[in-house]
Amino acid sequence: MANTYNVTFTTTYSATNVSENADITWVYADSPPPKTPKQMQQDAYTEYMSDKAKVKQARIDRRDEVIASWGIDQTLDLSQLAADFYLLYELSLSEEDEGHFEPLLYGLVDQFASYTDMILGGELRYIKDRARSRKDVIAPELWEIFYAKEGEMSTRHEYWDKWREFRAIHPDALQWAADAFNTFESSGVGGPKWANIADMLRIFLDGTITPLMFVDFCWGLEHNGGTYFNKVWSNQVKHVLEANLNGAIESVLAAASPGIRKFYRSKR
């Protein structure tokens, strides 16, 4: 014979900010009483948190996919690379680096150019809020493709992806980006600082400045602000840049890779 249980309960839980009253009837054949309202509330909250975690992981996976599409290696240890860079650069000035500096330089410049290009697209997402009244001086291609439709993209990495596609078909995109940043009407995002970053990437790519100048420019952005590389690389590199600037060679050596540390000491 089936057992019937009638339960009336009121429950409120913060997971979804839902409050509700309900009359529920359970009918079970040879079964124990159903879960209490509190147990049901706990189950609902557990399911909510599980779904939330899945959404978060999907967003992380998508972000990683976009970063990889730019050819960026998220596993780089920038603190170690900065130390190796400046130690080998010093040796290269007296031609004592034995050919080690140039491969490191070109590896870094590829990563820094791709990273800089990518994050420009993320910063450009503020155009619709900060440059709306200057729409007439922004390249129409830039405005139309990215920002004509409100709510078209919601996350930074989706702008990174859209910018990659845009850059591939518009040779003047970096100049348009610099012009757009200069129209921003408030501080904090965009503005002349980001216009300068776009210009520096453009003149590096057209050969006006050297790979060494561009890499040093990027290190300088991190040194002066402390957050330039934080969209991808979380390790703290600023202390190495400070040590190098202050001539604290032992601190730089401590951050270097074991092989470069040993190599440098063999020369000094």
Give the pLDDT confidence score for residue 217 in this predicted structure: 96
Q: Above 80 in pLDDT, residue 121?
A: yes
Averaged pLDDT, 156-180: 93
Give the pLDDT confidence score for residue 221 in this predicted structure: 92
Q: Above 50 in pLDDT, residue 212?
A: yes
Give the pLDDT confidence score for residue 70 in this predicted structure: 96
Averaged pLDDT, 80-99: 97
Give the pLDDT confidence score for residue 68 in this predicted structure: 95
With b meaning 16 or more CB within 10 Å and e meaning fewer, what string describes 170-204?
Answer: eeebbebbbbbbbbbeeeebbbeebbebbbbbbeb
Domain boundaries defined on the chain: 2-66, 76-267
Q: Above 80 in pLDDT, residue 47?
A: no
With b meaning 16 or more CB within 10 Å and e meaning fewer, what string describes 97-123?
Answer: beebbeebbeebbebbbbbbbbbbbbb
pTM greater than the 0.75 cutoff:
yes
